[in-house]
Structure 1
Amino acid sequence: MTQPPPPNQPPDPQGGFGAPTPPPQQPDPGYGYPQQQQQQQQPDQGYGYPQQPDQGYGYPQQQPDPGYGYPQQQQPPAAPPQQPYGYPGQPPTQPQQPYGGGHQQPAQPPYGYPAQPQQTYGGYQQPAPAPAPGGRKLSAQTQIVIAAVVAVVLIVGAGVWYANSGGGEGKGDEAKGTAGTSQGANGTGGSGDTKGLGGGGKEKAPANTKAKVAFQLPQPKVPDVTDVSGSWVTDKAFVKPGVNSVVAYDLDKGTPLWTLPLTGQVCGASRHKSADNKVPILFEAKKRVAPRYYQQCTEVGMVDLNTGKLLWSTSVTGGTAGDEKARFGEITLSGKTVAAGGTDGGAAFDAANGNARWKPQANDENCYDLGYGGGEGLVAVRKCGSYDAQYVMVQNLDPMTGAPLSQYKMPAGVKYASVVSTKPLVVAADVGETAGDGSGISDFFSIDEKTGKLKAKITADADQYAARCRSTKVESCSQAVVGNGRLYVPTEEHEGSTGEYGDETNEVIAFELANGRMVPEKADAGDKYTLVPLRMDGGNLIAYKVPPYDKGGQIVSLDGGTMKETLLLENPGDKSIRSAETSFSLNGAEFRFEAGRFFIAETLVSKTRESTSTYDKEYLVVSFSTTG
């Protein structure tokens, strides 16, 4: 039986980070051989240098977290035990290469507000991020002043960039890092070559794009805040967690097709499902009761979305949970492997039968998995290092064994990282907590998943770009989509062409993952609409256009190369229907579009309150359709 991969440990209760600690020396291949501390013989590899996957096991130095959803308490580290656990096998050696409107949204600074001061990474100042297109109109005098300033900056900046972009020894880290800013060195962005991009999508424009309401589901009655995250679409049903259950609804009528009762509330749901409509979930072993209305999230299960059957369920012990059941916070699927992560450690299971591939383990290098990103690959975000000098690693794993295939060390100041895509590997992080807007993103990192080498770092100024990630969740990003070798993100809303009240709009822009440069093509939402990227459809990008006050929303397909828009669906503009559509928070709802059907679903429901108006109802799901 294959041995488990590197184990897990709960997060730093104080959130503090010090200087990154170089990873340990490779251990003796022998199973269970004690780990040796690395000697100070090798030169400092520096920020972003491809790291050898760490291999040792030992006991984590932190107290268990109280569990899923329960308020966290800071705990001092505990001393490790004397007996380290063996590593499952020696991963391949990596090449030694340096890295180079009714939506409830958080308040944002006005568009055009002065940008944050330039940040420094590795001791070098990074070039300013590229401005998002579509800013406010400026007076002629202001434009002349700005043009003069920009000219000076470009002259000086070009010299700085040229000096830092050489390929000589000792310049690897910073040279590669500056190549990954959000604009090319020539100031004009990417190459603009769209040949071979776009097209090949399954979603086609119907003869009539006018949609009708398919169904509306009221929120369930709950005594306290309840997480109902997760929603999936099959050819027959829309499936969503309910109260202590998973329920499938008829696509046309919204009537229940089946209900799967569970021992407790669903507390984690995979974004990915298998080709035959099987999806892993997390759920609680008991039902929630007053006064705490809380249970631990310990059960892992696989649901058949076609039949409503729970194919298997299990739990594991180990990690900081000891002999108790390990608690998890999120779950994902990659091929034949289900992976669950949490404060007690990470575990993986055979998707067919639930047999454990690996369990949470103690680690004498103070490493633990924050969680996993699934889909085409399996990527772990891993925190390592001593209590006062922690750093974050991004590891591309073999999904069958958990052995690291490559890894990348995030820069100092990164406490958490979120996986946007596993193949190609794109990670988001808030470096030094500089985003300042609650988005969880200051930069995107394009990483070669085979070598662990950084290809580009894309600066995403919070005043300009609107993608979001929940920093403490590894697979939680929204409004950031990867395809065609590009990263697609929306800009923040800004004043439209008319300058009238309520005339706000935005764009979707793209960055090349190979070099981090912004491409010249962009998609304009149009006055009073806001574009929200949802997912890739072949080489095309499916996006939702949030409606103005007097129209319904739209679903469009954007050609991934030219960014040309094709209308797929347009919702009714009736006040009551539009009120239902816009009753969801843009940053707190799930948006699904499949085969001419559009679903908006809630992720969190609160204690039920009585509605006093037709326009004040709270919905679990609203659905629109162009079919029938």
Structure 2
Amino acid sequence: MSFGPPPSPYTQSALAADSDRRRRRTKLVGAVAAVLVVALCAGGWLLMYATGDGTPAKSKATAAPQAPDEIRETVEKTPKTLEGKLVIDYDEEKFKDDETRYAPGTWATDKIFAKGIKNTLTGFKFGVDEAAWTLKLDGHICATTKHVTADGRTAVVVQPGKRKGTKDAGICDEVVFFDLDTGKKLWTATMSDAKTAYVTNTNLTMTRGTVAVAWGNGSVAYDMSDGKQLWKSTDVSKCEDNGFAGGRSLLVLLRCGDESKHAYRVQKIDPRTGKPQWTYKLKEGISGVYMPSSDPPVLAIGAGEYDVTDLITLDDQGRHSATISMKGGRFDPMCGDSWDGTHYFGVMENCYAMVVGKDDIFVASKADGGYDQAENWIVDFDVKTGKTLKKFDGRPLQPLWPVKMSGDKLLVYRPSSDNVGPAAIVGIDPATGKETPFLYFNLPDGTTRMENPEWSDILVEHGRAFFSPRVLTASAAHPDDPVPAAVGIAQAR
């Protein structure tokens, strides 16, 4: 992992654009999906998934309402229709020659889809082309978090412009907490002593009532309500705060020792005081650690190499529960590098092909590529024992990508195999292995790359599916064409 001053994250990227995927797009998604769903239902294709009203009994239970400052855990409602319609179709325009625009941060509420691009946050209402709000920041976005409060607030870390009389250009030391529905900036805080916080090493997260940031040589936490500092740590004599994992709890990853010989520790800490509640020590020889879940505590580690080789689960007291081998690279949870091989914008919690539930860990395999075989599959591992519980196969040319937990069900994305048959969001019941259709649709032309979680954020929130690439690059063959930046699909009413 790199911790030195980075080049500007918005200069030329080595990431090559797909030259054949940047044509202007059609907007006939709803009509196409409707025809396909009717045809497929008539052919009996859906009968292998649907049971009763299409919703397993457990998902009908009403979840207790969350407090406003808890981290949101949405349980998706039973769909009224399987047909999808296009409600977000946003392009970035006026690219300069060889320009790359980084686009960190993708969020949605029941009212708004929001996206971060360069130094701007933009919110869109569904089915409306114009932006509902635009929030210009003091500089480029340095770090984002996937977490959103129950009432629709989240945070970013910003690299403000050079302050008069200082040498702070390039330092990521400003936290902005804002409302996703309104675009209103709720508070801004300057991270004191964050002189080595860069886009390459700054990690941001949230847990109930607390926003926390770590940058290797220090960390700081703020109260969600007013932005006041709760605590900070800048003692780097023995261990460095590499990053946090938030959500239901708050974990910190500590890197102890010098560059030649170091060891990692994970601590659960009190989010209001920063005091450790337990510590788990990893063995020496670990090259990298990610923390995709704080509760249950799950670590994704690279043992002797940078790729994830094992998953480690802990109990609620920080004691080792299980080690799950990633089978010599057969599985790929896609942890960490998602920005042209860099660690930009915070990577600690991001494992894009892996979802952790209360009792299960779902990990996607690498693509198999066999023409008449499943493109890939998802394996369900038991959190406490590490044992394999079930295997869910994709289809030929149609991989399965885990997206999120919805109560005790897993929602997955299945792309179209040929852009004619529909793509789908499907619910899987881990207890029975049954699949339930959630949404069928076709993505617009030129957006194929959005379907891969390695390159694109894929969200399901309040009955809608969203696809948004993390890096925007104009096509070499068509440099003046608008670049697809976000697509949203909703249930047709």
Contact kept in structure 2, 1:318 and 1:325, CA below 8 Å: no
SS in 2 for 1:359: strand
State whether structure 2 residue 150 is matched by structure 1 residue 275: yes
The whole-number CA distance in structure 2 between the counterparts of 1:554 and 1:624 is 11
Equivalent of 1:557 in 427, 438, 443: 427
Instruction: Provide the secondary structure at the position in 1 that maps to 2:104.
Output: coil
Q: Which amino acid aligns with 1:556?
A: V
Q: Distance in 2 between matches of 1:326 and 1:229?
A: 11
Shift of 1:320: 5.9
Q: 1:424 aligns with which of 296, 300, 320?
A: 296
Give the AA of the match of 1:491: S
SS in 1 for 2:327: coil
In 2, distance between residues paired with 1:68 and 1:395? 32
What is aligned with 1:606? Answer: 473
Aligned match of 1:542: 411
The equivalent residue for 2:282 is: 410
Partner AA of 1:625 in structure 2? A
Q: Deviations over 1:184-210 (max 9, x none)?
A: xxxxxxxxxxx9987758334534312
1:401 deviates by 0.8
**What pairs with 1:364-513 in structure 2 (closer than 5 Å)?**
364=237, 366-433=238-305, 440-450=307-317, 452-470=318-336, 473-494=347-368, 499-500=371-372, 504-513=374-383
**Equivalent pair of 2:172/2:198 in contact (CA under 8 Å):** no
1:610: how far off?
Answer: 6.8
2:453 to 583, 586, 608: 586
The equivalent residue for 1:359 is 232
- Counterpart of 2:186? 311
Q: 1:424 to 1:611 in 2, by over 3 A?
A: same
Are 1:65 and 2:4 counterparts? yes
2:170 alignment counterpart: 295
CA distance in 1, matches of 2:57, 2:356: 16
Q: Secondary structure at the match of 1:494?
A: coil
Aligned-residue CA RMSD (Å): 3.1
Equivalent position SS for 1:508: strand
- State the partner residue of 2:400: 531
Aligned in 2, Cα 1:447/1:253: closer, same or farther, shift over 3 Å?
same
TM-score normalised by structure 1 residue count: 0.62
Tell me the CA shift for residue 620 of structure 1: 0.5
Judging changes above 3 Å, is the alpha-carbon distance between structure 1 residues 207 and 387 closer, same or farther for their aligned structure 2 residues? closer
Cα separation, 1, equivalents of 2:262 and 2:468: 38
Please list the CA deviations of residues 587-620 of structure 1 after superposition, one character each: whole Å capped at 9, or x if unmatched: 011011123311101212236767379xx86311
Following the alignment from structure 2 to structure 1, what is the Cα–Cα distance between the partners of residues 198 and 415? 43
Counterparts of 1:239 and 1:226 in 2: how far apart (Å)? 16
Q: CA contact under 8 A between 1:467 and 1:479: conserved in structure 2?
A: yes
| 2:173 aligned counterpart, secondary structure | strand
Q: Flag the 1:579–1:67 CA change in 2: closer, same or farther, 3 A.
A: closer
Alpha-carbon distance in structure 2 between the residues aligned to 1:255 and 1:382 = 44
Q: Is the 8 A contact 1:489 1:510 kept in 2?
A: yes
Equivalents in 1 of 2:7, 2:188: separation in Å? 18
Q: Which amino acid aligns with 2:425?
A: I
Does the Cα contact within 8 Å between 2:159 and 2:174 map onto a contact in 1? yes
In structure 2, the partner of 1:128 is none
Answer whether contact 2:451 2:458 (CA < 8 A) is retained. Answer: no
Q: Distance in 2 between matches of 1:486 and 1:196?
A: 19
Change (3 A) 1:569 1:368: same
**Identity over the aligned pairs, expressed in percent?**
25
Which string of whole-angstrom CA distances, capped at 9 and with x for unpartnered residues, describes residues 478-530 of structure 1? 1111114111112222256xx54xx65222211111111111x3222233311
Q: Take 1:316 and 1:297, find their aligned partners in 2: how far apart are those partners?
A: 8
C-alpha distance after superposition, 1:207-251 (max 9, x if no partner): 431212223211244554332211111121101113422111011
Please tell me the residue identity of whatever aligns with 1:534: V
Distance of 1:263 and 1:320 partners within structure 2:
17
Alpha-carbon shift at residue 263 of structure 1 (Å): 1.3
Residues 626 and 325 of structure 1, relative CA distance in 2, 3 Å threshold: closer
The offset of 1:319, in angstroms, is 6.2
CA distance in 1, matches of 2:469, 2:199: 28
CA distance in 1, matches of 2:91, 2:147: 26
Contact kept in structure 2, 1:532 and 1:544, CA below 8 Å: yes
Q: Would you tell me which structure has more strand in proportion to its own residues?
A: 2
Structure 1 CA distance for aligned equivalents of residues 476 and 184 of structure 2: 33
Count of matched residue positions in the alignment of Structure 1 and Structure 2: 422
Bigger drift between 390-399 and 253-262 goes to: 253-262
Paired with 1:400 and 1:382, the residues of 2 have a C-alpha distance of 19
| 2:124 corresponds to 1:249 | yes
Residue 490 of structure 2 corresponds to which residue in structure 1?
625
Which structure 1 segments of 5+ residues have no match?
1-10, 14-63, 72-102, 105-194, 288-293
1:514 aligned counterpart, secondary structure: coil
CA contact (8 A) 1:456 1:515 kept: yes
Instruction: Give per-residue Cα distances to partners, 1:303-357, cap 9 Å, x unaligned.
Output: 1112211111111222665xx9999622111111111111442111111111112
Change (3 A) 1:279 1:220: farther
Tell me the CA shift for residue 383 of structure 1. 0.2
Equivalent-residue separation in structure 2 for 1:197 and 1:490 (angstroms): 24
**Contact 1:227-1:605 at 8 Å conserved across structures:** yes
Question: In 2, Cα distance between the equivalents of 1:536 and 1:608?
Answer: 35
1:340-399 per-position Cα deviation (integer Å, ceiling 9, x unaligned): 1114421111111111122341333x2111111110011111101245321011111111
Is this contact kept in 1: 2:6–2:198, CA < 8 A?
Answer: no
* Residues 557 and 373 (structure 1), Cα distance of their counterparts in 2 relative to 1, 3 Å cut: same
1:571 aligns with 2:446: no
- The 3-state SS of whatever aligns with 1:416 is strand
Q: Return the alpha-carbon distance in structure 1 between the equivalents of residues 8 and 361 of structure 2.
A: 32
1:398 partner letter: D
Structure 1 Cα separation of the partners of residues 447 and 374 of structure 2: 21
Distance in 2 between residues matched to 1:255 and 1:328, nearest whole Å = 34
Deviates more, 1:383-392 or 1:508-517: 383-392
Note if contact 2:142-2:198 (Cα within 8 Å) is conserved in structure 1: no
Alpha carbons of structure 1 residues 334 and 222: separation in structure 2 relative to 1, 3 Å: farther
1:207-222 pair list within 5 angstroms: 207-221=80-94
CA contact (8 A) 2:449 2:456 kept: no
CA distance in 1, matches of 2:76, 2:109: 15
How far off its partner does 1:584 sit? 5.3
Aligned pair in 2 of structure 1 residues 204, 310: CA closer, same or farther (>3 Å)?
closer
| Residue 215 of structure 2 is aligned to residue 345 of structure 1 | no
Contact 1:337 1:350 in 2 (8 A): yes
